[in-house]
């Protein structure tokens, strides 16, 4: 159950930014980005002559006095966690690096919001754009020229802008509108505007919006030309008298948006609120296609303020487009002055440009400004615009309320009203965008509202190394943020993260305890396992032993209390529930175990079998298995029947009913009253051997139940975490996001093996005249080599694909396999069906079917 904030002042058109992710020069994430902004860090890289020569810059260019040895660099653009997204190596190498990094940032934004698409109730949309794919031009051009039609089709899907949004939706399982946006430098804010409209129009309930731009090559400078946008010295001096341009950089930014009312009711963490936005175009009323327009910019800002219902005098800061050009800066301030004319002469508004920190990020420029401004609103700080010394005399500052922010300072709230800001982005070609932001609503949560007591923290990842990293990251975060409410952290992990196979959990009494336990990672305290893809289920274990805390738990857990009351009513017992649970006999134990089982069932855990691990355990076990009703379970003189129930039942050391538990030990019927010889817990463990069922002891009490849930989840048993938290108030909180395990995926053009080895025989010649068993072996190894080259190393002894494995389970793509069948057709001089691997998706099955087809067609390899 999420905690709901007061929402009297929430408009239906308000949109919340609930998740943010970025990779900007000098900043791997939003936390580092904020530190750079706060500290006034300029992230420009100035290259040495040696570095530039090594990067391929010609000595003639380096000798040119106009050559600028600077750039805004995004590290690691050649690295990607392809395995996490089930992308084979060959595809990852040709996939646009802009789309790779955007995909990682999209997942990070979802996790920052505590949003698991698999459990999100409504559709999630994607509105996104990327810059020019220069990687394809530099690295893949020759491959495209030499490619077959199928290979060209694969390359098109991997490198073209059109497939960004839909690839994100496919890889992350998003079902909302998937729309590519492309308006040059205003792309990301236009994406935000369209995403807001989709949310308000009911087309989706959440939306990712963002963009990516990677300059290529990154490790080189540029030639400055007077009159162009590029700075002559590697500095972007926005609004300054020495401003002569900007530096083009690389960056990626993504936000997750929800309607504010929905975000508050769901207990989401709100970074900032979008009060309104607008887009337009300059049209033809300007000097040239690439020139800015005062009229167009002023109009879009005024429209956004009107939509937001925020008068200009309520805006305390504007994040400008601010390119530091002789033409652009004066036009932009003149347009702002016109849009803010109604604010009056007494109003003062700070002005800034993130381009002084990270340069011009092209399609991602507006997203850098939006994330920067959201962070300033959250921290209530104004950060400096760098390299501003004296205003450009051509900028009409005297005609309006704007002053350039040059120092880190507090951002005071105006007369108790919320802080508000505007963000602008203007694209070459004239598409202008402006967004009006407001700080998040204040929290109504009081310290006494924070829940206390033990909590269950879940961690999962796609690989053991990632799980280790995730554990360490969470421990470090909790140590650095000891005021993090443990319930909030637990619920965010359970509901806001996709479950991966490599899992671990810890039950902790408070935040400090959790941090220390995760740091030590003692397997006894933090158990780990690789969850089964399809867990067989759970086995409920009944001890029949009284639990002293059952009566106390009855008072603290409404769901447990309801189950106890329902059981007593069904049994016709009129005893006081607390007294019944406190009796300390077999009946009180049975009642507590029965109610605990109902609680686990309510949380999604349905038993596959029930076992009595002690003599008195037959009462709850038999009832839960369906062998008799609660009335029998709670009757003092009842005896244990020999008949099995609807579920396999293990009682008195044997399974009740023949073949009740396939693969288990024992069989036959239970005898007597259950009070005779009993094999105990050890025998129960032996009885479960081979079943795959996860044993869960039915012990009421928060700690015991959390441990049972953790062990079930560890084994892959489905748990309904939404039901579990339905009566446990929480708010989503900031936690470390997925620790990507990146590898290098970079296409280095290689010579054709056939060209370098002219004596290499076609495959048909290699197979000719050999026994069929040898032909099958050679063809199998040929396919393993070809597919292995495309997929990358596999977890087999020789690193090649298992010929019996389903290729699509190994992340093979249909187009890759179609291309392989075309190549195989040439090698064998035989028309191999393009759908061969679709119909027979293992190498073994494909080879067997191919030889059968060739035999039926009378084709002999000779």
Tokens 């929480």 identify what position? Answer: 730
Separation between Cα atoms, residue 633 and residue 623, nearest integer Å: 6
Q: Where are the beta strands (DSSP E) in 345-465?
A: 349-352, 381-382, 402-404, 409-410, 420-426, 431-439, 455-461
Separation between Cα atoms, residue 52 and residue 62, nearest integer Å: 8
Q: Where are the beta strands (DSSP E) in 111-250?
A: 124-130, 178-180, 206-213, 222-223
User: How many C-beta atoms lie closer than 10 Å to residue 70's C-beta?
Assistant: 19
- Rounded to whole angstroms, what are the CA distances from 472 to 466, 479, 736? 10, 11, 10
Per-residue exposure over 456-487, b if at least 16 CB sit within 10 Å of its own CB, e if not: bbbbbbbbeebbbbbbebbbebbeeeeebbbb
Residue 442 makes CB contacts below 8 A (sequence gap 6+) with: none
Catalytic residue among 22, 105, 115, 185: 185
- Residue 2 in tokens: 């999420």
Separation between Cα atoms, residue 696 and residue 603, nearest integer Å: 14
Residue 195 makes CB contacts below 8 A (sequence gap 6+) with: 125, 127, 207, 208, 209, 257
Is residue 842 classed as helix, strand or coil in its secondary structure? Answer: coil
The DSSP letter of residue 349 is E
- Rounded to whole angstroms, what are the CA distances from 37 to 17, 253, 382? 20, 16, 9
Active site residue 349: no
Spatial CA neighbour of 709 closest among 507, 566, 572, 410: 507
Are the C-beta atoms of residues 106 and 172 closer than 8 Å to each other? yes
First to last CA, the chain: 71
Separation between Cα atoms, residue 207 and residue 254, nearest integer Å: 10
Active site residue 115: no
- Residue 387 in tokens: 């390299």
Separation between Cα atoms, residue 805 and residue 788, nearest integer Å: 12
Active site residue 360: yes
User: How many C-beta atoms lie closer than 10 Å to residue 811's C-beta?
Assistant: 19
318-320-324 Cα angle (round to 5): 145
Catalytic residue among 360, 434, 500, 678: 360
Catalytic residue among 193, 224, 235, 321: 321
Residues marked active site are found at 185, 321, 360
């Amino acid at each position: 159950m999420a905690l709901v904030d007061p929402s009297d002042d929430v408009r239906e058109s308000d949109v919340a930014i609930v998740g943010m992710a970025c990779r900007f020069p000098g900043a791997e994430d939003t936390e580092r980005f904020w530190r750079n902004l706060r500290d006034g860090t300029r992230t420009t890289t100035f290259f040495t002559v040696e570095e530039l020569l090594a990067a391929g810059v010609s000595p003639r260019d380096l000798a040119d006095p106009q050559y600028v040895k600077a750039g805004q660099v995004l590290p690691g653009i050649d690295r990607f966690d392809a395995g996490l997204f089930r992308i084979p190596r060959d595809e990852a190498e040709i996939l646009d690096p802009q789309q790779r990094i955007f995909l990682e940032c999209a997942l990070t934004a979802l996790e920052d919001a505590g949003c698991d698409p698999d459990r999100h109730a409504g559709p999630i949309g994607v509105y996104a754009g990327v810059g020019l794919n220069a990687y394809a031009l530099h690295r893949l051009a020759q491959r495209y020229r030499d490619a077959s039609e199928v290979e060209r089709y694969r390359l098109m899907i991997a490198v073209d802008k059109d497939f960004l949004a839909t690839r994100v939706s496919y890889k992350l399982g998003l079902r909302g509108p998937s729309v590519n946006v492309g308006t040059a430098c205003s792309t990301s804010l236009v994406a935000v505007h369209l995403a807001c409209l989709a949310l308000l129009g009911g087309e989706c309930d959440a939306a990712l919006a963002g963009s990516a731009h990677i300059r290529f090559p990154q490790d080189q400078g540029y030639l400055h030309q007077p009159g162009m946008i590029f700075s002559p010295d590697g500095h972007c001096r926005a609004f300054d008298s020495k401003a002569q341009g900007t530096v083009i950089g690389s960056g990626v930014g993504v936000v997750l948006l929800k309607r504010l009312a929905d975000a508050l009711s769901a207990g989401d963490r709100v970074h900032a609120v979008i009060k309104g936005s607008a887009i337009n175009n300059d049209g033809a009323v300007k000097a040239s296609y690439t020139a800015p327009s005062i009229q167009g910019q002023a109009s879009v800002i005024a429209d956004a303020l009107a939509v937001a219902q925020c008068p200009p005098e309520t805006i305390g800061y504007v994040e400008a487009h601010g390119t530091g050009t002789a033409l652009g800066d004066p036009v932009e301030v003149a347009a702002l002055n016109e849009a803010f004319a109604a604010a009056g002469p007494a109003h003062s508004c700070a002005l800034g440009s993130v381009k002084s920190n990270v340069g011009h990020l092209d399609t991602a420029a507006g997203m850098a400004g939006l994330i920067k401004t959201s962070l300033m609103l959250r921290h209530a700080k104004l950060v400096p615009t760098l390299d501003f010394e004296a205003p450009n005399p051509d900028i009409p500052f005297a005609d309006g309320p704007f002053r350039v922010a040059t120092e880190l300072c507090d951002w005071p709230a105006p007369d108790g009203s919320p802080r508000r800001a505007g963000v602008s982005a203007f694209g070459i070609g004239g598409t202008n965008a402006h967004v009006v932001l407001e700080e998040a609503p204040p929290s109504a949560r009081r310290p006494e509202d924070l829940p206390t007591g033990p909590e269950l923290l879940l961690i999962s990842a796609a690989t053991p190394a990632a799980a280790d990293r995730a554990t360490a990251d969470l421990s470090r975060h909790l140590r650095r943020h000891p005021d993090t409410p443990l319930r909030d952290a637990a619920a965010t992990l359970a509901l806001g993260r996709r479950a991966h196979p490599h899992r671990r959990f810890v039950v902790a009494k408070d935040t400090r305890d959790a941090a220390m336990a995760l740091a030590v990672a003692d397997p006894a305290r933090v158990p780990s396992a690789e969850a089964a893809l399809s867990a067989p289920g759970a086995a409920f274990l009944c001890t029949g032993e009284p639990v002293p805390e059952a009566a106390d738990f009855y008072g603290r857990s409404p769901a447990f209390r309801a189950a106890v009351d329902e059981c007593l009513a069904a049994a016709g017992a009129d005893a006081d529930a607390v007294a019944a649970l406190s009796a300390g006999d077999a009946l009180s134990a049975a009642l507590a175990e029965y109610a605990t089982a109902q609680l686990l069932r309510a949380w999604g855990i349905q038993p596959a079998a029930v076992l009595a691990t002690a003599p008195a355990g037959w009462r709850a076990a038999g009832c839960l298995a369906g062998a008799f009703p609660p009335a029998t379970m709670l009757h003092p003189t009842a005896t244990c029947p020999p008949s099995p129930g609807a579920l396999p039942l293990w009682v008195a050391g044997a399974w009740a009913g023949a073949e009740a538990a396939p693969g288990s030990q024992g069989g036959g019927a239970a005898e007597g009253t259950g009070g005779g010889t009993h094999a105990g817990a050890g025998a129960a463990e032996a009885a479960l051997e081979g079943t795959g069922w996860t044993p869960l002891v039915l012990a009421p009490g928060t700690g015991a139940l959390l441990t049972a849930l953790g062990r079930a989840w560890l084994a892959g048993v489905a748990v309904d975490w939404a039901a579990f938290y339905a009566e446990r108030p929480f708010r989503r909180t900031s936690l470390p996001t997925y620790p990507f395990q990146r590898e290098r995926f970079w296409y280095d053009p290689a010579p054709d093996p056939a060209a370098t080895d002219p004596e290499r025989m076609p495959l048909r010649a290699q197979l000719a005249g050999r026994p069929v068993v040898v032909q099958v072996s050679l063809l199998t190894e040929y396919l393993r080599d070809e597919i292995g080259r495309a997929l990358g190393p596999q977890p087999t002894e020789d690193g090649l694909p298992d010929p019996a494995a389903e290729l699509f389970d190994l992340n093979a793509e249909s187009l890759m396999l179609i291309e392989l069948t075309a190549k195989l057709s040439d090698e064998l001089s035989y028309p191999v069906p393009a759908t061969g691997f679709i119909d027979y998706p293992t190498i073994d099955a494909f080879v067997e079917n191919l030889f059968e087809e060739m035999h039926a067609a009378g084709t002999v390899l000779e």
